[in-house]
Amino acid sequence: MTHDVTLAEAEAETVTEMRVEHDDDPRRAKRFLFLRNGKALTGIGILLFFGILALVGPWIAPYDPNQVSADLLQPPTAAHWLGTDHTGRDILSQIIVGTRGVLVVGLIAGVSATILGVVVGVTAGFVGGAGDETLSALSNVFLVIPQLPLIIIIAGQLPTAGGVTVALVIGVTGWAWGARVLRAQTLSLRKRDFVEAARANGERTWRLVLAEVLPNLTAIIAAGFVGTVTFAVLSQVTLAFIGITPVSDWNWGTILFWAQNNLALQRGAWWWFVPAGLCIALLGMALTLVNFGIDEFVNPRLRSTGMNARLLRRRRIRPRIGFTPVLRTGPSPDRPTSEERS
């Protein structure tokens, strides 16, 4: 289950870096706070589910996804839970078997793009001068060129465009987004008083980057990783949908390709294209939820909304910036002031 391991590692890094930022946060002792976060847990749960599916998919799928049968274009039945396509192939099996392709591509692309983005972005933001000019020019070139058309052009001209190839193309073209955001943030951090102070104290550059700059970028790095994985999944599914990647490689986009080309919309065969799209959305949501979880872990101020809105109402708390709520549960028991008695 390679993808979950890597994700967990990325999160572990996030967790350790976070401590530095909120040194005076009394909650830092709660080591597993991240895992207590409902959103993150939900996200990780969904990812785990798809991860297991990717791993054991071919063995648990009820049918061979390529096996044609006499049940042509059947709506969901007991035999075919998600119905069949125009040649009687089982759609549930296609989705289960297709999970692996989606996750592998997302992960390879996400990891490679994140590494490239961090290296280029932080370096550019920190070194400044000619190095910065060169690196940001490079990321701008990659940013300006719309990725999806670029991938389409490359994939369209390649003799074969399999999953790993597509993943690498996405990774190599997709790091610039993260790099530019990270560069901008590094640049502004570099000017902040605390970094200036550390620099004035004669801190070494690499230590400055590791201890003062990177911890403050964790949220952006994490968001970038999640974003790239999401983008990679969407791109790959899109390429499959428009028929650029081999249609015999099952992934969720391939199912949609067959559905679109066999007029599933016009025939009202919703079971053909709705489940695959929902799976993509579910995976994307899981990634975003993990991102929210990381966010709330990073910034204790975000956490307040992680709690039950009903509880807030019951305790009559209205969390607002600039107007700290005051708890009023009847007169204060210890020492009521004169106004309170009146």
Partner 1 sequence: MTASTLHVPTAGPGAGDPVLEIENLSVDYGYTDDATHVLRDVSLTLHRGEVLGLAGESGCGKSTLAYAAMRLLPPPGLITSGSVHFTDRDGTRTDVLRQSDAELRASRWQDMSVVFQGAMNSLNPVFRIGRQIADGILAHRPRTTRKEALEQAAGLLEMVGINADRARDYPHQLSGGMRQRVMIAMALALDPQVLIMDEPTTALDVVMQRQIVEEIADLRERLGFSVVFITHDVSLLIEIADRIAIMYAGDVVEDARAQDVYRRPRHPYSSALLHSFPPLRGERRELTGIPGAPPDMQRMPPGCPFAPRCAHTTDVCREVRPALGPTALADRGEQEAARRVACHLHDAAAGRGGGSLPAGLAR
Partner 2 sequence: MRFAVRRTIFYLITAWAAVTINFLIPRLMPGDPVTALMGRMQGRIDSNAEQSIRVLFGLDTESSVWQQYVDYWGLLLRGDLGLSFTFFPTPVADIVQQALPWTVGLVGIATIIAFTLGTLVGTAIGWRRGTWADSLLPITTFFSAVPYFWLGLIAITVFSVTLGWFPSSGSYDRGLVPTWSWEFVGSVIYYGFLPALTVVLSSVAGWILGMRNMMVTVSSEDYVTVAHAKGLPERAVTVGYAARNAILPQVSSFALSLGFVVGGTLIMEMVFSYQGIGYTLFQAVNTQDYPLMQGCFLVITLAVLGANIIADFVYAALDPRTRQEG
Residue 129 or 330: the one with the smaller Cβ distance to partner 1 is 330
171 neighbors 113 (Cβ within 8 angstroms)? yes
Q: If contact means CB under 5 to 8 A according to the sort of partner, which of partner 1, partner 2, none does residue 266 touch?
A: partner 2
Closest among 237, 240, 257, 246 to 161, alpha carbons compared: 246
The answer to whether 314 contacts partner 2 (rule: CB under 8 A) is no
Rounded to the nearest whole angstrom, what is the least distance from the CB of residue 26 to partner 1 in the complex? 4
Nearest-Å Rg of the Cα atoms of the chain is 25
Identified binder of partner 2 from the candidate list 180, 212, 222, 275, rule CB under 8 A = 180
**Residue placing its CB nearer to partner 1 in the complex, 131 or 325:** 325
323 binds partner 1 (CB under 8 A): yes
189 binds partner 2 (CB under 8 A): no
Residue 69 binds partner 2, judged by CB under 8 A: no
- Contact, 167 vs 105, CB < 8 A? yes
Under a CB-based contact definition with an 8 Å cutoff, are residues 121 and 179 in contact? yes
One character per residue 23-62, x = contact with partner 1 (rule: CB under 8 A): -x-xx-xx--------------------------------
Dihedral angle over CA of 91, 96, 97, 103, nearest 10: 130
User: Are 103 and 49 contacting, i.e. CB atoms less than 8 angstroms apart?
Assistant: no
For residues 192 and 187, what is the distance between their CA atoms, to the nearest angstrom?
Answer: 9
Read off the amino acid at residue 294. Answer: I
Nearest distance in Å: CB 328, partner 1? 9
Q: Does 242 bind partner 2 (CB under 8 A)?
A: yes
Report which residue type is found at 118. V
Under the binding rule (CB under 8 A), the answer on residue 322 touching partner 2 is: yes
Tell me which residues in 116-155 interact with partner 2 (CB under 8 A). Answer: 137, 140-141, 143-150, 152-154
- Residue 162 touches partner 2, criterion: CB under 8 A: no
Q: Is 31 helix (H, G, I), strand (E, B) or coil?
A: coil
Residues touching partner 1: how many (CB under 8 A)?
33
Q: How far is the CB of 337 from partner 2 (least distance, A)?
A: 24
- By beta-carbon proximity to partner 1, the closer residue of 78 and 318 is 318
Binding span for partner 1 by CB under 8 A among 96-104, 230-238, 269-277, 324-332 = 324-332
Residue 177 binds partner 2, judged by CB under 8 A: yes
User: Can residue 30 be called a binding residue for partner 2 (CB under 8 A)?
Assistant: no
Q: Which of 130, 310, 321, 342 binds partner 1 (CB under 8 A)?
A: 321
SS3 127: helix
207 binds partner 1 (CB under 8 A): no
Coil vs helix vs strand at 90 = strand
Nearest C-alpha neighbor of 85 from the set 279, 278, 275, 283: 275
Q: Is 271 a residue that touches partner 2 (CB under 8 A)?
A: no
| Rounded-to-integer distance, Cα 331 and Cα 278, Å | 52
Other beta carbons less than 10 A from residue 332's beta carbon = 11
d(CA 11, CA 3): 12
Please, which residue, 5 or 281, has the CB nearer to partner 2? 281
Contact 209, 217 (CB under 8 A): no
The residues binding partner 1 (CB under 8 A) are 24, 26-27, 29-30, 191-194, 197, 300-301, 303-304, 307, 311-312, 315, 317, 319-327, 332, 334-335, 337, 339
